[in-house]
Chains A and B, each alone.
Chain A
Amino acid sequence: MLRSMISLLSGGLFGTGLMLSGMTDTTKVQGWLDVLGAWDPTLAFVLGGALLPMAIAWRLTRDRSPLAGGHFPAPAASTPDKALIVGSMIFGVGWALAGLCPGPALASLSFGGWQGALFFAAMISGMWMAPRLRLVLDRGPAKA
């Protein structure tokens, strides 16, 4: 029950913050990526603002347990692998193309129209395909 309410509260704050900051507006996100055009610095303020409470939160995880029980995540994991590098670059291209990433795509579902719904359906399909693609990536190119 406590875990459910914490998750609901967190999702609600996240959605409110995304909407308030303008990150559900694809023109603002694409404007941030458009360094050759009318560059929009908003995203830097959003990210900077978000890092502050999070950095404090990470500090507070020392010598404590989560409120709803269990354990905090293990220390920041290992070194980058091929999937991290390739995946991040693929994500960046898709992000530029539509100006949407997973958080804002979800937060804007109620007002994003058919365009938002279509992007969302394609994103879910991509997420479903990813584990299979990861196997290919880990195995390397097929040998003739």
Chain B
Amino acid sequence: MGLAGGLMIGMAGAVYLLGAGRIMGASGIIGGLVDGSGRDTAADRLWFLGGLIATPAVLMVVFGLTPSTNASSAPAVLVLAGLLVGIGTRLANGCTSGHGVCGLSRLSPRGIISTALYISAGMAAMAILRHIWGVI
């Protein structure tokens, strides 16, 4: 399932690149709407986000799926994590899709450095938060 889903994610990026001529980065597509830097391409961004948000909902109804995020129910964890993800991805100009999927596949130095850093930082944070402090 991981590989099949991954291929589909890569195809999504390929369609966006070859069709619209743009890099499929989730943080950039929504971030450009939040800070106004993507005002000129707002329509494309909204269509993309519409497909991204609505398709899982449609699949749930059609196939009777009951997916769960199994996310934390601690409001402080969710708020802090959301702030860090929002700030970090916009400072870095990319996230798992932009720097990871699209950056690594074109051997972009910035994409490779960013991906190595957020995975290492994530693994280090997990080691500390889960195994030393035991908070998550």
Task: Please say whether chains A and B are actual partners in one complex.
Answer: yes
Q: A residues bordering B, Cβ < 8 Å?
A: 2-27, 30, 33-37, 42-43, 45-58, 60-61, 64-73, 76-80, 83-113, 115-116, 118-131, 133-134, 137
A21/B6 contact (C-beta < 8 A), A83-B92, A88-B118, A92-B117 known: yes
CB pair B72 A115 closer than 8 Å = yes
CB pair B81 A111 closer than 8 Å = no
CB pair B80 A6 closer than 8 Å = no
In chain A, what residue has the closest Cβ to B2? A45
Within 8 Å by CB of A7, from B48, B55, B59, lies B48
- Total count of chain B residues near the partner, CB < 8 A: 108
Main secondary structure of the interface of B (DSSP, over half): helix
Shortest distance from the beta carbon of B66 to any chain A beta carbon, whole Å: 8
A92/B121 contact (C-beta < 8 A), A8-B48, A84-B92 known: yes
Q: How many A-B residue pairs have CB under 8 A?
A: 480
CB pair A53 B7 closer than 8 Å = yes
A127/B27 contact (C-beta < 8 A), A21-B2, A76-B108, A95-B122 known: yes
Known pairs A17-B8, A119-B79 / 4 extra A-B pairs, C-beta < 8 Å: A14-B52, A33-B123, A90-B87, A127-B34
A127/B86 contact (C-beta < 8 A), A88-B114, A101-B95, A115-B72 known: yes
CB pair A123 B83 closer than 8 Å = yes
Within 8 Å by CB of A21, from B4, B24, B111, B125, lies B4
Please, how many angstroms separate the alpha-carbon atoms of A87 and B16 in the complex?
25
Within 78-136 of B, Cβ neighbours of A (below 8 Å) are at: 78-93, 95-97, 99-111, 113-115, 117-127, 129-131, 136
Q: Could you say which residues of chain B place their CB within 8 Å of the CB of A33?
A: 119, 122-123, 125-126
In chain B, what residue has the closest Cβ to A27? B70
Q: Could you say which residues of chain A place their CB within 8 Å of the CB of B31?
A: 127, 130
